[in-house]
Structure 1
Amino acid sequence: MTVVTRFAPSPTGYLHVGGARTALYSWLYAKSQGGKFVLRIEDTDLERSTPEAIEAILEGMNWLGLNHDEGPYYQTKRFDRYKDYIQQMLEAGTAYKCYCSRERLDALREQQMAEGKKPKYDGKCRHHAPEQDGDFVVRFKNPEQGSVIINDHIRGRIEISNNELDDLIIQRSDGSPTYNFCVVIDDWEMGITHVIRGEDHINNTPRQINILEALGAPIPDYAHVSMILGDDGKKLSKRHGAVSVMQYRDDGFLPQALLNYLVRLGWSHGDQEIFSLEEMINLFSLDAIGQSASAFNTDKLIWLNQHYIKTMPAGEVAEHAKWHFEQQGIDLSQGPALESVIAIQAERVKTLKELAEVSRYFYEEFADFEEKSAKSHLRPVAAEPLTLVKQKLAALTSWDAESIHAAINATADELQIGMGKVGMPLRVATTGGGNSPSLDVTLALLSQAQVEQRIDKALTFIANRQQSV
């Protein structure tokens, strides 16, 4: 048997982290078993589904690298298939037309609730509904005896008595099929062998199994994943920060870090925290997913992101970082190779957004020096070491970190001052602020002419400061 899993989001909003984790688990299981991963857009809610939401889902899946083997399929393009099956079920007697009015159903519901009963359709039209004019819905004739048993990969054995279930509407009065019916037909026709989805679908599963059995279709395996909570123990929502996958992209996270974080929100392999995608595929097992809800911890995600920025090849980080430089209006053609900047900045930043923010001086001139740093280090006493180091740097015939380091050392030795008295004014002069990687590797990524020009700018700043005193 070829394993076939699916991710089937409803396009009523962005791809949120809970959906992304479900997609990841489905994708990993298919890959770990040498199977196929299907992407299906469940857009039967015509009022709430939007093209923008579909695009957001596809963009999120693409950014995460969770590529599908089949699809995307759209339920709205398959309505004729659903209607064919509904007609077959009407003819087979496994479904029936229900002519009950909304008023009757509302009154029935109120009466049942007043009597402390679980609201459910009473089956009035199941046996006593001759053909008549007027609106009708089609209901599935749910078994009245026995129970549905689900051997859930995560939750174990679940048994639901059929008398707890009512006759589900499978076609609305306007002729459109309902969600639960579309899912059944899609899972059957697409050969889905394993349904991995959120625990909020547990109530749908026995209904869907009964319809599959009525159609003579195979029953897939099920795995219902627990929800993700915020760090306050409540269901993850916007109040906890970003919940959209693409918001994490916008905030400067690498997809590799987010995937690594999401896979550990419910699944584990010993005490291991860091997993490459290849390791996830090789080690993943549905039976290793825990039953309890997981709490989202942004600090842990930031730690992971920093790890990946530091340890991934600079070229791979650069592919994702370019977007952030563009968003901040930084022209990468006007400076060193981005990989070189990443190599020296990686230890110093937590996100790609921060990487772009602190690396601007490599690609464009800064208008002003950072006020606090300039006040501390661009003082009159700094004019002499800056002038001398400028001369020594200008005289270099080889512009590399080793030669630059030697020139800075020589300046401190000649003036008989500490390295900090040369290094800090030089750092502020050439980067605009008081924080940067080691000066020698930083200046090596700037041009010799740029460094001289920026030192001149600092000397002018110092001179003007003296005059204004």
Structure 2
Amino acid sequence: MTVTRFAPSPTGYLHVGNLRTALFNFLIARKAGGRFILRLDDTDPERSKPEYADQIQRDLEWLGLTWDRVERQSERLDRYAAAADALREKGRFYEAWETPTELDLKRKKQMNMGQPPVYDRAALRLSDDEKAAMRAERGQGHWRFKLDHERIEWTDGILGPLSIDAASVSDPVLIRQDGQVLYTLASVVDDTEMGVTHVVRGSDHVTNTATQIQIMASLGFAPPAFAHHSLLTGPQGEALSKRLGTLALKDLRENGVEPMALLSHMARIGSSQPVALCDTVDDLAAGFDLDHFGSAPTKFDVDDLYLLTARYLHGQPLSAVADDIAALGVPDDLAETFWTVARDNITTRHDLAGWWRLFHDGAEPLVAEEDRDFVAQAFALLPEPPYGPTTWKDWTDAVKEATGRKGKGLFMPLRKAVTGLERGPEMADVMQLLQKKPTL
């Protein structure tokens, strides 16, 4: 069975970059009839917050990315400790005591000498007495996995055949000095024990994948199928990382972006397929294939989400927005007409409120000085509401007969005076919705 997972850290809010990873893994599982695991990477007790974990789940539920089970790494610390013990027994885990400052100095020295900035394994050369002295002076050290210096090869689901020389990579730290288990070890244990078959994540994890493949092998596990998607950039190719905080899913939701507009966009950008607006996640899954994606950075423009949101709403029936319209106080007998008028003139559901204010309270008239007397005369010919389907024609016919105006000189000043807008929905529909007679 196909099993995928999404493993966010509850140290902040999900953003569009996180969503891309979650969505790819969800669609792979959904298309194959498999299982999708939500795994909270909460081994950092200081930065992990319950409110972030709750928001992650709310964001995924809003998008319809339902999971089959939730796992929390903070509840699996015994499993990571057992794996660490197994690595020690195999001679693949060693303690080191260098401080961040000392490691930085080592890297700078190596780079000045034209060498790769890779950890020099100085800790492996310490005698038992020297290790005891380090513990007495600095306390417990951090624990590194000892890589076999050989090429690590795998076929990536997006990038194709990959090969990394383990000698070019520092032995990864798997447990910090304070005892915190880091992502690299926890992910290896979880992916293997939870039967994860496919892992899709950002291309910034390629080196992590290489080291994790070797850690898995040392523990006697076969690795899952890995795939690394490209990272998002801004619309001009600029780094998006500094803006991701303003692209949190909760903010996009609050700003009116529709779930299927967001999902449809994120499921296709960076692929050879054009973005296609889908109605359900099952439709998205049916057309999803990693083979269509490439390694080039993927340009993301938040404005595209609002264009898709508008397109999505324009195609929705009244039933899809009935609750929103009722909440505005629109009478039931006007709901269908209101939606017919408003839907082609909104970007998000939030815009409905502005249209109902116009119809309920009236607009600020937009009247040129030379049209003021004409509009005043026209308003005098307009009866009090309620208005019907023929009100606009009956009224403009009467105004035409009284003033002699016709064509654009007749209709445009009246539109602007009634709606405060130069363009918009059909005035025959607008008149039916007006709750008050327009005035100057």
- Which residue is equivalent to 2:177? 173
Sort the Cα spacing of 1:356 and 1:378 in 2 relative to 1 into closer, same or farther, 3 A. farther
Amino acid in structure 2 at the alignment position of 1:58: Q
Sort the Cα spacing of 1:101 and 1:353 in 2 relative to 1 into closer, same or farther, 3 A. closer
Q: Is the 8 A contact 1:21 1:262 kept in 2?
A: yes
- Which residue is equivalent to 2:164? 160
Sort the Cα spacing of 1:244 and 1:272 in 2 relative to 1 into closer, same or farther, 3 A. closer
SS at match of 1:352: coil
SS at match of 2:189: helix
- Which residue is equivalent to 2:341? 344
Q: Is 2:398 the partner of 1:411?
A: yes
Q: Is the 8 A contact 1:154 1:286 kept in 2?
A: yes
Q: Is the 8 A contact 1:142 1:165 kept in 2?
A: no
Q: Is the 8 A contact 2:92 2:147 kept in 1?
A: no
Amino acid in structure 2 at the alignment position of 1:443: M
Q: Unmatched 5+ residue regions in structure 1? A: 462-469
- Which residue is equivalent to 2:277? 274
Amino acid in structure 1 at the alignment position of 2:119: Y
- Mapped to 2, the partners of 1:421 and 1:390 lie a distance apart of 22
Sort the Cα spacing of 1:221 and 1:318 in 2 relative to 1 into closer, same or farther, 3 A. farther
Sort the Cα spacing of 1:358 and 1:435 in 2 relative to 1 into closer, same or farther, 3 A. farther
Amino acid in structure 1 at the alignment position of 2:398: T
Residues 99-118 of structure 1, C-alpha deviation per residue, up to 9 Å, x if partnerless? Answer: 55667655544443332222
- Which residue is equivalent to 1:48? 47
Sort the Cα spacing of 1:257 and 1:166 in 2 relative to 1 into closer, same or farther, 3 A. same
Q: Is the 8 A contact 1:137 1:169 kept in 2?
A: no
- Mapped to 2, the partners of 1:274 and 1:359 lie a distance apart of 28
User: What is the deviation of 1:125?
Assistant: 3.8
User: What is the deviation of 1:404?
Assistant: 2.9
- Which residue is equivalent to 2:114? 116
Amino acid in structure 2 at the alignment position of 1:165: V
- Which residue is equivalent to 2:293? 289
- Mapped to 1, the partners of 2:44 and 2:245 lie a distance apart of 27
Q: Is the 8 A contact 1:408 1:422 kept in 2?
A: no
Match of 1:437 among 420, 425, 435: 425
Q: Unmatched 5+ residue regions in structure 2? A: none
Amino acid in structure 2 at the alignment position of 1:25: F
- Mapped to 1, the partners of 2:68 and 2:169 lie a distance apart of 35
- Which residue is equivalent to 2:189? 185
- Which residue is equivalent to 1:136? 140
TM-score, length-scaled by structure 1: 0.80
Residues 297-321 of structure 1, C-alpha deviation per residue, up to 9 Å, x if partnerless? Answer: 34543332221121133332456xx
Q: Give the stretch that moved more between structures: 259-268 or 298-307.
A: 298-307
- Which residue is equivalent to 1:386? 379
Sort the Cα spacing of 1:106 and 1:410 in 2 relative to 1 into closer, same or farther, 3 A. closer
Q: Give the stretch that moved more between structures: 34-43 or 337-346.
A: 337-346
User: What is the deviation of 1:285?
Assistant: 0.9
User: What is the deviation of 1:51?
Assistant: 3.5
- Which residue is equivalent to 1:467? none
User: What is the deviation of 1:164?
Assistant: 2.1
Amino acid in structure 1 at the alignment position of 2:268: R
Sort the Cα spacing of 1:129 and 1:283 in 2 relative to 1 into closer, same or farther, 3 A. farther
- Which residue is equivalent to 2:95? 97
Q: Is the 8 A contact 1:10 1:42 kept in 2?
A: yes
Q: Is 2:9 the partner of 1:10?
A: yes
**Coordinate RMSD, CA, aligned:** 3.2
Sort the Cα spacing of 1:228 and 1:404 in 2 relative to 1 into closer, same or farther, 3 A. same
- Which residue is equivalent to 1:360? 357
Match of 2:364 among 365, 370, 373: 370
- Mapped to 2, the partners of 1:286 and 1:95 lie a distance apart of 35
Q: Give the stretch that moved more between structures: 52-61 or 287-296.
A: 52-61
Q: Give the stretch that moved more between structures: 136-145 or 203-212.
A: 136-145
Q: Is the 8 A contact 1:377 1:425 kept in 2?
A: no
- Which residue is equivalent to 2:73? 75
Q: Give the stretch that moved more between structures: 166-175 or 408-417.
A: 408-417
Q: Is the 8 A contact 1:142 1:210 kept in 2?
A: no
User: What is the deviation of 1:241?
Assistant: 10
- Which residue is equivalent to 1:464? none
SS at match of 1:148: strand
Q: Is the 8 A contact 2:15 2:245 kept in 1?
A: no
TM-score, length-scaled by structure 2: 0.85
Residues 356-397 of structure 1, C-alpha deviation per residue, up to 9 Å, x if partnerless? Answer: 3333223x425xx525x1455973333443333316x66xxx
Q: Is the 8 A contact 1:138 1:172 kept in 2?
A: yes
Residues 56-114 of structure 1, C-alpha deviation per residue, up to 9 Å, x if partnerless? Answer: 4333222222222221x222232232122212332343323335566765554444333
- Mapped to 2, the partners of 1:11 and 1:378 lie a distance apart of 60
User: What is the deviation of 1:286?
Assistant: 1.3
- Which residue is equivalent to 1:61? 60
- Which residue is equivalent to 1:465? none
Sort the Cα spacing of 1:116 and 1:405 in 2 relative to 1 into closer, same or farther, 3 A. same
Amino acid in structure 2 at the alignment position of 1:22: T
Sort the Cα spacing of 1:412 and 1:315 in 2 relative to 1 into closer, same or farther, 3 A. same
Identity of aligned residues (%): 33
Q: Is the 8 A contact 2:15 2:244 kept in 1?
A: no
Match of 2:250 among 246, 250, 273: 246
Sort the Cα spacing of 1:338 and 1:236 in 2 relative to 1 into closer, same or farther, 3 A. farther
Amino acid in structure 2 at the alignment position of 1:444: Q
Specify which structure has the bigger relative contact order, considering alpha-carbon pairs within 8 angstroms and separated by 6 or more residues. Answer: 2
